[in-house]
Amino acid sequence: MSSWRRMDVLGPHVRARPRLIIGASASSSTLFDHGLPYSMKLRAHSSCINALALSSNEGRFLASGGDDLDVHLWDFHQEDITEPCHTFIGPRSNIFCLEFSRSNQYLFVAGTDTMVHQYDVSRLGSDSNSRNDGLPTNMFRENDTVRDVTCSPFHDEIFLSGSDNGRIIQHDARLSPSSNIRAADIIQLTAEVTSIKFHPTMEHLFLTSDSKSNVHLRDSRMAFGPQKSRSKEGIVRSFHTTIAKRNIGTMSNPESSSVAFDREGQKLAVTSLHYYPTIYSISNPYPIAICTDNSVERSSGQRRYSNSCTMKHGSFGRPEPNSVVDYYCGGSDDFCGYVWKIPPVETLIAQRDEISANEWRMEDSDMIGFTEKIDAPVFVPTELSTPSAILRGHNSIVNTTLIHPQFPLILTAGIESAIVLHSPFASCPFSQKLSPTPQEVRQLPSSTTLEEVRVIDPLSLQPESADRVNPDETELDTIRLFDSILRREGETDPFEVRPWVQVSEDENEASSDTSSI
């Protein structure tokens, strides 16, 4: 199954009033500020692409996986990158996540087949170009769909997995994967784990999000081990994700679907359903910025950034290795990717508004802010309302975006079967075939006729008829399916679909009890 869930989209009627608009000129100009008007497509998959990962350090290799169960490896050191350099097989169901280990010795792949597959990338020959480069060297069994994996930045064999059953497991690939997982290596949450990320520079810290909109920074020394040595599930900081709207007096907790660190681990981004990508400082529980496109002029009928029916994964990055300017990139349901320049943390904190609970209730406006509870202060983060670039070239939803660590390059993927590479230039070291990206964005049809609708298996997003093997028709079917989902689920107020109910401290403590692992 593609990373689809029944959700609703943030509509224009719930947009926050801008507190401060910052555009591309917030700091020194870089390559990304002039747009990424050229692109090319990498074609090897036959259905939705749910996950992308770049190899550690210089990002020589790109791994991609999705609903066709293949894991393709692309080499950016090729002079003309037209096909994968290797293809791994092994997963038996849809792939949702993949990541390279610290020194790129291993590639870990997981999804709905309840397994984490470990591939030994170091065994591949430099000149090999074979589909069957090997089955997984190890498989780690889980009890439910694995939503994310993250590899330690210090040890090739250490990784964490997070699953729909609420389990976060600490794995050591040096141990036999067939042995039973120890209770000491498990944190049991009361909600689905949606994302998990190791801190890039601090060995024991990792970030988690779950379907109840909890986003926590945790310490593995407090999270794992004997029960007597654990403390608060390892939580060392909680980030507030609950939003409040002044003129309706209610709150909402949009589900946090993914999290990401910047290069140094000083900032993090939370991608939430029904709301905008939100930027936090690692040292502050309240957000310092939200990323919108409210300052971008649109023609009649043209849609804006939204996030309704797929699980989005964004990334931080820089246009050049030595640059000090950070950008954040995320995908959208309007068939585009968005790139925002992120000012320094100190600047954003200084521009953020703090409003007391009493003052918040006194004024009638459509302003939206973040709070911890009903009687707590409300923080209104800086609005970054002018994207540095809007990435076009897709005909359906963009799920995943990656900023390359070495080249001024951004990769996007989603419902379609092609990966799109976006560049400021018409050529690059691995290809001379980049073309101007069409600026016309496909519009969402108002309806789909019965003649256009083919029978789709909703669990696999593949045609039910075995004799239909035309990949172009299959992709068109999938696009139409998601068109229908967007028409049905779009334009819904998050304060209606995800109302927040405050619980007592006793109830909150009971909900996080991990004694029955």
Q: What is the CATH number of domain 12-296+304-507?
A: 2.130.10.10
As a whole number of Å, the end-to-end CA separation of the chain is 29
Each residue of 65-80: pLDDT tens digit? 999 999 999 999 998 9
Asked if residue 75 lies in contact with residue 96, where contact means CB atoms within 8 angstroms, the answer is: no
Domain ranges in the chain? 12-296+304-507
Asked if pLDDT for residue 89 goes beyond 80, the answer is yes
pLDDT of 142 higher than 60: yes
pLDDT of 453 > 90? The answer is: no
Q: Please give the Cα distance from 333 to 468 (Å, whole number).
A: 28
pLDDT band at 454 (very low <50, low <70, confident <90, very high): low
Mean residue pLDDT across the chain: 86
Predicted TM-score (pTM) of the model is: 0.89
Q: Which residues pair with 287 in a beta bridge?
A: 280
Strand partners of residue 337: 331, 391
Q: Has residue 87 got a pLDDT over 60? A: yes
Q: Is 35 exposed, middle or buried (0-12, 13-18, 19+ CB in 10 A)?
A: middle
Q: Which of 170-184, 326-340, 370-384 has the lowest mean pLDDT?
A: 170-184
| pLDDT on residue 368 | 93
Query: Whose CA is closest to 329, among 247, 400, 397?
Result: 400
Q: Which is more confidently placed, 256 or 515? A: 256
Three-point CA angle 242, 342, 281, nearest 5°: 45
What DSSP state is assigned to residue 21? B
Which range among 150-154, 265-269, 439-443 shows the weakest confidence by mean pLDDT?
A: 439-443
Give bridge partners of residue 206 from the DSSP assignment.
198, 218
Q: Which residue has better confidence, 113 or 247?
A: 113
Could you tell me the pLDDT band of residue 14, with boundaries at 50, 70 and 90? very low
Any idea which residue has 């060392």 for tokens?
Answer: 236
Report the alpha-carbon distance of residue 7 to residue 58 in Å, rounded. 36
- In the predicted model, what is the mean pLDDT of residues 449-469? 51
Question: Number of C-alpha atoms within 13 angstroms, CB side, residue 270?
Answer: 35
Cα 286 to Cα 37: distance, rounded to the nearest angstrom: 35
- Position 156 scores a pLDDT of 93
What's the pLDDT tens digit per position in 300-331? 778 899 998 889 999 999 998 888 899 999 99
Q: How many CA atoms lie within 13 A of 305 on its CB side?
A: 32
C-alpha–C-alpha distance, residues 394 and 41, integer Å: 10
Task: Give the per-residue pLDDT at 169.
Answer: 96
